[in-house]
Amino acid sequence: MNYQVVIKNIDTVNEVEGYWSDEDFVVLLQKFNYPDGATAEKSSLPELLEMAISDYEPNEAAQIVLEYKLGDELSAGQIEQISNNMLIDKVCEEYPEIHMQGRLFHVNQLLFKAYNGKFPNAKASVVHFSMTPTNGEVQKLTAENILKLLNNGLSDRNLIKRLFEEQMSKNIQFPEAESIIWELTTEDNVNYDLVTSENWINKDDVTASEFESVLEEVEDEA
């Protein structure tokens, strides 16, 4: 199916609003030995957590938050190693398990804010765009569909295109797309917002803001 794609804007942000829930803050406050989070004003929870975190050494705090978000998938040794590496590198951009990068970003930025910059400042991109079919019915697009349709408007230097050239340009499955796009929202299946790492898509990657693209039905692997 043919689509008219318009990339309206890309916002570069330090944090994704709404990612951390009030429940997250209360649980984390307990883990940082602040037991009164459940009775505190909801609006004060982020600030209370920042203060509670800052009483700990940075790598200790990182271990606690990592254990909370990724403890089911990482060993204690892996968490310890990541907590130390986070003080030096943008682990959320370099970690080989792509499906963890989004959560590592949110952990990193929580710690970056609490410690006033002791952790590297990673950034996310919020891409606002539309994809309108020119010869068929509107349908809800998946993360895989969207990355393939964006291909024609992205520079050859774009990291997704360099690492996943065949998946982006050929009629094959692209399961990593679900991990590259952290959030995908639409109200009408035409206008979309996606959240991803600035490392995956940034303003400099866009070579055309309006272009045509073709979405082919992906062949099932034998």
Position 119 scores a pLDDT of 96
Beta partners for 13? 124
pTM across the whole model: 0.94
Phi, psi of 212 (to 5 degrees): -100, 150
d(CA 84, CA 81): 5
Return the percentage of the chain with pLDDT > 90, whole number: 93
Q: Is the pLDDT of residue 202 over 50?
A: yes
Token readout for 90 is 């943008």
Give pLDDT tens digits for 165-192: 999 999 999 999 999 999 999 999 999 9
**For the residues 208-214, what does the mean pLDDT come to?**
96
Token readout for 22 is 């009030």
**For the residues 138-150, what does the mean pLDDT come to?**
97
Give pLDDT tens digits for 48-88: 999 999 999 999 999 999 999 999 999 999 999 999 999 99
Say how many C-beta atoms besides its own lie within 10 A of residue 150's C-beta: 24
Token readout for 92 is 């959320």
Position 220 scores a pLDDT of 64
* 126 contacts: CB under 8 Å, gap ≥ 6: 10, 11, 13, 16, 193, 194, 195
Position 46 scores a pLDDT of 94
Q: Is the pLDDT of residue 107 over 90?
A: yes
Position 221 scores a pLDDT of 54
Position 222 scores a pLDDT of 45
Give pLDDT tens digits for 3-40: 999 999 999 999 999 999 999 999 999 999 998 888 99
d(CA 134, CA 128): 20
Token readout for 146 is 């969207």
